[in-house]
Structures are given as structure tokens and as C-alpha cells.
Structure 1
Amino acid sequence: MPALRPDDRELFEILATPLYEEVAISGGLAESDPRIAAGGELRAALDLLVSLNLIVRDRSTNRYVCVDPSTVVSHVVGPLSQQGAELLTESSEWARAFGTLSQAWRRSPSAVRGPITEFRDSAIGTFISGAVGEAEEELITAQPQAERDSASLSVAAVREKAALDRGVKMRTLYQHSARRHAVTRKYVADVSEHGAEVRTLDEFFNRMIVIDRRLAIIPGNADLSIAMAIREPGLVAYLVDVFERAWERARPFTNTERSMMNDIAAEQRSMTIRMLIEGHSDPVSAKRLGVSARTFAGYVADLKAEFDAETRFQLGYTMGQAGVSGREPD
């Protein structure tokens, strides 16, 4: 039995299951079916079903036929359950081992106990997972842009749903552009079902996580290879206040009413105008709106059409003559 991954289960649910049902109802699937040829749309689904022994090749008819799934399920679910039990045991042992280290650290006269600690590269994710796992009351997160991939969002969803199920309250801020990111929408729907609140804002802001209003985690450099863990109460309170002000202006992610979407479009238009007036480059402007440079260029093209301008210079002049600043009420 092959080792199964989350991607395999997704393939199984979306393509392999309908294919199995088709083969079962029709009594078989011809080897010559173009959909299962090399590179065919259902080839990967067929290979998965064959590897799971749910479909076998009947040499006498040159067709693929179904196998009773009840004879196979234990061979798939059993090992996964065993692996889960082993991982739980191993995680408990690791927690115990780290507890011993923590005691030694607390006894050490040379331990660094300053209000700010730096973490680098792979240590960042480990620290965040541990800190979120210890949250007792509240998680506050700000996630500018929607560039996290499916794998990292899946890990975050598992971590944050566990905290929500413990009774921890969670609020998250994204930029408006996240509403068009399918992976982010799936993540938001997932954590929202467990009680999280998510809103979006037009303005650019920095990445941040605040745990129980006692620990804040922020980037230490532009490429996010360094993270800073802040425990100084005054600094943490300041960061929370910045978040609260942004939260009050933000709009609920789950609200898709036409009036709300029109407001969001207007806010993105105003932000684009401000970026043009302030003279930012396209890459900088796109980053601040949380979109790609190509999408930002599309926003500029829309403004040119709206103001009947052929060049950016002409657009700027026309907006200036009209008194447009990007700060008008929506």
C-alpha cells in the first residue's frame, strides 16, 4: 500500500471517486478510453485507484473493473490511524523533553531574558506554532497580501482551529485583495466555521501576530527571514492599539453583498489614485495594495479609461484639474 498524502485524498475525492462510480455502474472501463491514456485527464485518478486496489485490470476483457471497497478500507485507514497514534506519542515525548530544557534555562544565570528575541528561517515557524499552541484567551493576526500557499495555510488552519476549539478568540486582518485568492477564501471559511472573525482593509500594513496581549511577533526584515518576538508590555499594547484602529475601519470578509463589494472596489480605486499621486513605482504600489504588478497596471488602465487619458501624465493632469486626490468620501 503506497504512502498517502493530503494531495492524494483531494484527488481521490474530486476525480477518483466519480471515476470509480462510473466504472462500477457501467461494469468496466476500456483500456482504450482516451481519458486514461498517458497524460489524459483521468490518468492520475486511475493510477491512484489501481494503487489502492480499488480498480484492477481484467486481462480477459482488457477492461478495468471495480473491487469491493470494504475489502480495501482497513488497509488504508488502519496504517493512517497507527501513524496518528505514533505521532501523538512522539509529540508528547518531545513536549516532555522541551519541558526539561525550559527548567534548565530558567536555572541558568546567563539566560537571555530581554523583551525582544530574534528567530531566523525555519525556527520562526516552530516558535509561532508553539506560541499559538500556548494561547489561552486571544489571537490577533494581520496578514498583508494573499501570497501564502495552500500548504502553509493548511498548517495554519490546523494550528488555529485547535486554538479556537480551546475557546481562544481570534481576529485576523487581510487586505481586500485576499478576497480574490481562492486558497485564502478556503482558509477563511475553514477558521470562520470554528469562530474566527476575519476582515479586510484597503491599506497596506505589516505582518503581525499578538498572543494573549502579552507576546507580539513581527517581521525583523523585509524578506521575512527574521522574526522578532516582543514581550515588553508597552510595545505590545501599542501594536494592539494599531490593530484595533485598523480593525474598526475594516470590512467583514464573509460579507459579499453588492453594496459592500462596491465599497471595497471604491476603496481600492482611491488607494490606486493615492499611489499614482505620491509617485510610487508599480511594484511598490502593487505591494501596498496586496496585488500583482499586472493587476495594478489593470487598475491604472481602468482609471485612464474613466478619465479619458492616454498616458499616466495626462491621467495625473486630468485628475489634478478635477481635484481628485484619492481621499474623497466613497
Structure 2
Amino acid sequence: MALSYYRRTLSEGKLPQEDAPSCLRTLGLITADPHTPGYITPVPPEAAAFAALRPLEEAIESQQRTYRSVQATLSVFEQIYDDARKHEQPPLTTLTGPEIISKTLEAAVADCRTELLTAQPGGGRPENLLAEALARDVRMLARGVRQRTIYQHTVRSHQPTMAYIEQATAAGAEVHTLVEVFERMIICDREVAFIPTGTNRSDGALQIRHPALVHFLVSLFESAWLRSLPVEPGMLPPRPAAITSDVQRAIMQAIVSGETDESIARRMGMSRRTVAEHVRKVSLQLGSTSRAQLGYLLATSGVLSSE
């Protein structure tokens, strides 16, 4: 309708204004005829475009000026923010290689002020590492730092590790053991934590400073600590009956789950030969002649469900 009306104004020159579509007035394509009251006359689109679009262009230019002004102002604050953050430690840092990991851990432990929490899976540790750890831990304990460590039960039959534990506990450390320890973990002052990035713990580690993640790891440690058994200096025998029972129960549960001796040994921090000896003893007790039969007897005999 608007197009046909506009076309008629172009052909007839003017038309009664009461018939004019309102959109043509809005766009400025028609105007009142100065010589004939009550009639309108067409306006060239170029002229109408200037009148209709110029206010929009001015508004856009004003918005662009405002945009550039706000952008320039924010860039000043962004620079201040970036300068301040340069001095902050990143929440997650990947450490690669034994030397870098060792030096970073030594620096973190040396800066420890109040508490050191460690979880050490894998059974007994090499004597050279224990000697290094003992010297470092004694210095730290002398500063008044509380040290708590969780090992696996299997360290109780590893003489070098037990010798280290005896000297460390004499200096003030607290040591507990569990049948299984989730993974190696070191937490300093509940502010920074270290965990391995792969199965080979010496290849890579993750340094964690994010408060929520560190809090989660501390909660994991505390839960394990409540379930663990303390190692007392000079404790005899080295493997109490309760611990032996826990170890055998964990091995039997692993057998029912279909794990191999090798995977059980790796997870529980003992030799494959020790696992095989436990399996042999349980097989004799239950009268089993094969691995499959042993798994069946364990699952159906109620041994694993009894206290």
C-alpha cells in the first residue's frame, strides 16, 4: 500500500493527506504541499534518507565515542590488575623431570612453617632417599613444624624404612600406616600441594596452590589418617595381627576382583613373591587348587564379609 501510494504521488504530484500511510511520514518520504492545504507531495529518497538516517548516525558516533572512552579507562585498570597478578603464584604448575621436582619440593618443605602432610605409597623406600629425607625432616621438626606421614602396612617389614620412622618419630614426627594409600601427596601449610602427574612419579608432578583443591586434598588425607594405625617407636612385633589381617583381606578382595599378583603387588607396595605367599596360605586354608576356585571360594565363603 505504501509503495503504490508513493508511486501515485510521483505520477500525480500530490494527493490528499488523509489517505497517506503513516510509514511514509515516519520515513520522511512525503511532506505537506505548501501550496495546497490538506495535500501532500513526495520527497526524494536521498533527501528523506539524510533526514532519517542522520540522527541514527550521530547516535552511533556518540556510542562509539563512549565505547572508546570506556575501553581506554578499563585498559588502565587492566594494566594495574596484570601488574598485581604478576607477583602471584599460578594455581597449577606442571613440574617435569626429577631434578626440577626435587628442587621444588625441597624449597617448599624448607619454607614450611606449621604443618607438613605426606602420603607415601609403594612400600619401603630406598635407603639413600630415606637418608636425605631424615636430615631434611629433622631440621624441619626442630623448627616446630608438625609432620604427619601415611605409609602402607608393608613398610613395617622393611627395616630401612622402619629405622627412618624410628628416628623421625623420636624427633617429633607422627607416622601411620594403611593397607593401601591413595597416591603420593605432599601438602605444606595447607597452602601448596604436590601430586604426581603419571604412574612414574619421578617424571612429572603437579604443584597445586588453588585453595579449593588444596582443601580437598587435605580432607582426603585427614580421612585416611583417621582410618590408619600409628607406628610407635620400638613397636614389637613389627606386623601386628590386625595389620596382617588387613593386608590379607585386601589381597583376597583383589583376587575376587580378578587382579593379578603383579598389579596387587604394585598397588600395595610389596613384592610379587610376598603376594604369592599370601595367596598360597589362603589357598591352603580354603582348600583351593586353582586361582579361579580361590576367587569363587572367597566370594561365597563369607570370609571377606566377616569382621
Q: TM-score, normalised by structure 1?
A: 0.64
What is the match of residue 279 of structure 1?
258
Equivalent of 2:204 in 226, 230, 243 = 226
Deviations 1:228-281 (A, max 9, x none): 110011111110111111111111112735697000011011101110011112
Deviations 1:203-239 (A, max 9, x none): 2320000000001011011111101110011111110
Contact 1:204 1:290 in 2 (8 A): no
Query: Alignment length, in residue pairs?
Result: 223
What is the match of residue 83 of structure 1?
none
Q: Secondary structure at the match of 1:206?
A: coil
What is the match of residue 179 of structure 1?
156
CA distance in 1, matches of 2:184, 2:196: 7
Task: Verify: 1:120 aligned to 2:100, yes or no.
Answer: no
Q: Which has the higher contact order (CA 8 A, sep 6+)?
A: 2
Identity, % of aligned pairs? 34
Q: Secondary structure at the match of 2:195?
A: strand
Contact 2:256 2:299 in 1 (8 A): no
Q: CA deviation at 1:317?
A: 2.3
Contact 1:175 1:200 in 2 (8 A): yes
CA distance in 2, matches of 1:259, 1:291: 15
Task: Verify: 1:150 aligned to 2:130, yes or no.
Answer: no
What is the match of residue 28 of structure 2?
none
What is the match of residue 270 of structure 2?
291
Deviations 1:257-314 (A, max 9, x none): 5697000011011101110011112211112221111111111101101111111122
CA distance in 2, matches of 1:212, 1:112: 17
Q: CA deviation at 1:142?
A: 0.4
What is the match of residue 204 of structure 1?
181
CA distance in 1, matches of 2:177, 2:241: 14
Q: Secondary structure at the match of 2:240?
A: helix
Q: CA deviation at 1:147?
A: 4.2
Q: CA deviation at 1:321?
A: 3.1
Letter in 1 for 2:119: A
Equivalent of 1:252 in 226, 230, 237 = 230
What is the match of residue 317 of structure 1?
296
Q: TM-score, normalised by structure 2?
A: 0.68
What is the match of residue 238 of structure 1?
216
Indicate how the Cα distance of structure 1 residues 244 and 165 shifts in structure 2: closer, same or farther if over 3 A, else same: same
- The gaps in structure 2 that reach 5 residues or longer are 1-81
After the TM superposition, which parts of structure 1 deviate over 6 Å for at least 4 consecutive aligned residues? 106-112
Q: Secondary structure at the match of 1:241?
A: helix
- The gaps in structure 1 that reach 5 residues or longer are 1-105
Q: CA deviation at 1:112?
A: 7.9
Larger Rg: 2
CA distance in 2, matches of 1:123, 1:131: 12
CA distance in 1, matches of 2:134, 2:305: 36
Q: CA deviation at 1:148?
A: 2.3
Contact 1:139 1:171 in 2 (8 A): yes
CA distance in 2, matches of 1:259, 1:113: 43
